[in-house]
Chains A and B, each alone.
Chain A
Amino acid sequence: MSFSKLTRRGLIKTSAVAGAGLALPTYLRADAHSGFTNAPTGDTVTFGFNVPQTGPYAEEGLDELRAQELAVQHLNGEGDGGMMNTFSSKALKGNGIMGKKVTFVTGDTQTKSDAARASAKAMIEKDGAIMINGGSSSGVAVAVQGLCQEAGVIFMAGLTHSNDTTGKDKKANGFRHFFNAYMSGAALAPVLAKEYGKDRRAYHLTADYTWGWTQQESMAAATEAMGWETVNNVLTPLASTDFSSYIAPVLNSGADVLVLNHYGGNMVNSLTNAVQFDLLNKEVNGKKFEIVVPLYSELMAAGAGKNVQGVIGSMNWNWQLQDEGSKAFTKSFGEKYGRPPSNSAHTCYVQTLLYADAVERAGSFNPCAVAEALEDFDFDGMGNGPTTYRGADHQCFKDVLVMKGTENPSNEYDTLEIVEVTPRAQVEYEPDHPMFAGGDLGECNPGA
Chain B
Amino acid sequence: MDAILLQILNGLDKGSAYALIALGLTLIFGTLGVVNFAHGALFMIGAFCSVTLQKILTISTISIDETQKDFLGRPLEVKTPIMENWFGPEIGGLIIDWSVPLAILFAIPVMLVIGYVMERGLIKHFYKRPHADQILVTFGLAIVLQEVIKYFYGANPIPTPAPDAFRGSFDFGALLGLDTALAYPYWRLVYFAFSAVIIGAVFAFLQFTTFGMVVRAGMADRETVGLLGIDIDRRFTIMFGIAAAVAGLAGVMYAPINSPNYHMGMDFLVLSFVVVVVGGMGSLPGAVLAGFMLGILESFASMNEIKAILPGIDQIIIYVVAIIILLTRPRGLMGRKGVMEE
> Given the known A-B contacts A245-B303, A249-B3, A269-B258, are A276 and B185 also in contact in the complex, defined by CB atoms under 8 Å?
yes
Within 145-191 of B, Cβ neighbours of A (below 8 Å) are at 150, 154-159, 161, 167-169, 180-181, 183-185, 187-188
User: Which residue of the partner chain B has the closest CB to A305?
Assistant: B159
B314 sits at the interface (CB 8 A): yes
In the complex, whether A429 has a CB less than 8 A from a CB of chain B is no
Q: Can you list the 3 inter-chain pairs with the closest CB atoms, starting with the nearest?
A: A305-B159, A58-B155, A245-B302
Q: Report chain B residues within 8 Å CB of A118.
A: none
| B residues near A252, Cβ cutoff 8 Å | 2-3, 180-181
Residues of A within 8 A of B72 (CB): 330-331, 334-335
How far is it, in angstroms, between the C-alpha of A306 and the C-alpha of B13 when the chains are bound?
23
Q: Is the CB of A277 within 8 A of B302?
A: no
| B299-A245 in contact (CB<8A) | yes
Task: Indicate if the CB atoms of B259 and A268 lie closer than 8 Å.
Answer: yes
State whether A245 and B298 are in contact (beta carbons under 8 Å apart), knowing that A56-B261, A59-B154, A305-B159 are contacts in the complex. yes
Which residues on B are within 8 Å of A, measured CB to CB?
A: 2-3, 6-7, 9-11, 13-14, 68, 70-72, 76-77, 150, 154-159, 161, 167-169, 180-181, 183-185, 187-188, 256-259, 261, 263-264, 267, 298-299, 302-304, 307, 314-315
Bound CA span A335–B155, Å: 23
A55 touching B10 in the complex, CB below 8 Å, given contacts A304-B259, A331-B72, A411-B70: no
State whether B6 touches A249 (Cβ < 8 A).
Answer: yes
| In contact, B302 and A268 (Cβ under 8 angstroms) | no
A305 contact set on B, CB distance < 8 A: 159, 161, 259
Report A375-413 residues with CB < 8 Å from chain B CB.
Answer: 410-411, 413
Q: Which residues of A contact B168 (CB under 8 A)?
A: 278, 281
Cβ–Cβ < 8 Å partners of B298 in chain A: 245
The reply to whether A307 and B159 form a contact with Cβ atoms under 8 Å apart is: yes
What is the CA–CA distance of A306 and B167 in the complex, to the nearest angstrom? 12
**24 interchain pairs (CB within 8 A)?**
A55-B263, A56-B155, A58-B155, A59-B154, A241-B264, A244-B185, A245-B10, A245-B299, A245-B314, A249-B6, A249-B304, A252-B2, A252-B3, A268-B157, A268-B258, A269-B157, A269-B258, A269-B259, A272-B257, A277-B169, A278-B185, A303-B157, A303-B259, A304-B159
Find B188's partner among A58, A276, A281, A413 (CB 8 Å cutoff): A276
A113 at the interface (CB under 8 A from B): no
B13 x A244 contact (CB < 8 A): yes
Convert A335-359 into 0s and 1s, putting 1 for each residue whose CB lies closer than 8 angstroms to a CB of B.
1000010000000000000000000
For B155, the chain A residues whose CB sits under 8 A away are 54-59, 62
Tell me the smallest distance from the CB of B160 to a CB of chain A, in Å. 8
Q: Which residue of B lies closest to A334 (CB)?
A: B72
How long is the Cα–Cα vector from A308 to B133 in the complex, in angstroms?
45
User: In this complex, which of A239, A249, A306, A320 has the most chain B Cβ atoms within 10 angstroms of its Cβ?
Assistant: A249
Question: Which residues of A lie under 8 Å from residue B71 when comparing CB positions?
Answer: 319-320, 330, 334, 340, 413
Cβ–Cβ contact A277 & B10, under 8 A: no
CA distance A313 to B314 in the complex (A): 28
Q: For the complex, would chain B's binding face be called helix, strand, loop or mixed by DSSP majority?
A: mixed
Q: Which of A36-67 contact B (CB under 8 A)?
A: 54-59, 62
Query: Which B residues lie within 8 Å of A246 (CB)?
Result: 302
Tell me, rounded to whole Å, the shortest Cβ–Cβ distance linking B195 to chain A. Answer: 15
The answer to whether A244 touches B259 (Cβ under 8 A) is no
Q: How far is the CB of B143 from chain A (nearest CB, A)?
A: 11
Q: Which of A206-257 contact B (CB under 8 A)?
A: 232, 234, 237, 239, 241-242, 244-246, 248-249, 251-252
Listed residue (B3, B6, B159, B315) with the most chain A CB atoms within 10 angstroms of its CB:
B159
B25 CB to nearest chain A CB (Å): 19
Q: Hey, which chain A residues are within 8 Å of B267, CB to CB?
A: 239, 241
When chains A and B are docked, how far (Å) is the Cα of A411 from the Cα of B11? Answer: 38
User: Who on chain B is nearest to A57 by CB?
Assistant: B155
The reply to whether B258 and A277 contact each other, CB–CB distance below 8 Å, is no
Write out the residue numbers on chain B whose beta carbons fall within 8 Å of the beta carbon of A55: 155, 263
The complex places the Cα of A424 from the Cα of B9 at a distance, in Å, of: 47
A234: contacting residue among B6, B68, B258, B304, CB under 8 A: B304
A254 CB, nearest partner CB in chain B, Å: 11
Contact of B76 among A56, A340, A410 (CB under 8 A): A410
Q: What's the least CB distance linking B64 to chain A, in Å?
A: 13
Given contacts A58-B155, A269-B259, 20 further A-B contacts (CB under 8 A): A54-B155, A56-B261, A57-B155, A232-B304, A242-B257, A242-B258, A244-B10, A244-B188, A245-B14, A249-B303, A251-B181, A276-B169, A277-B184, A278-B183, A299-B156, A302-B156, A302-B159, A303-B261, A330-B71, A330-B72
Of B7, B185, B258, B314, which is in contact with the most chain A CB atoms at under 10 Å from its CB? B258
The smallest beta-carbon distance between A102 and chain B, in angstroms, is 26
Judge whether A410 and B68 touch: CB under 8 Å. Answer: yes
List the B side residues contacting A234 at CB < 8 Å: 304, 307
Q: A237-B315, A330-B71 are in contact. Are A303 and B183 (CB under 8 A)?
A: no
Chain B residues near A244 (CB, 8 Å)? Answer: 10, 13-14, 185, 188, 299
Given A265-B157, A277-B169, A56:B259 Cβ within 8 A: no
- Minimum C-beta distance from B276 to chain A (A): 20
Alpha-carbon distance between A306 and B256 when the two chains are bound, in angstroms: 12
Verify A303–B156 contact, CB threshold 8 A: yes
Minimum CB–CB distance for B43 against chain A, Å: 12
A410 to chain B, nearest CB (A): 7
- Nearest Cβ in chain B — how far from A260, in angstroms? 14
A413 to B76, CA, bound (A): 12
Alpha-carbon distance A307/B161, docked complex (angstroms): 9
| Contact assessment for A272 and B314 in the assembled complex, using a CB-CB cutoff below 8 Å | no
Chain A 287-306 per-residue mask, 1 if CB under 8 angstroms from chain B, else 0: 00000000000011011111
Most chain B CB atoms below 10 A, which of A248, A265, A268? A248
One of A58, A306, A330 near B161 (C-beta < 8 A): A306
| A244 and B13 alpha carbons, distance in the complex (Å) | 10
Closest CB of chain B to A321's CB: distance in Å?
A: 12
B6 contacts A237, C-beta separation under 8 Å = no
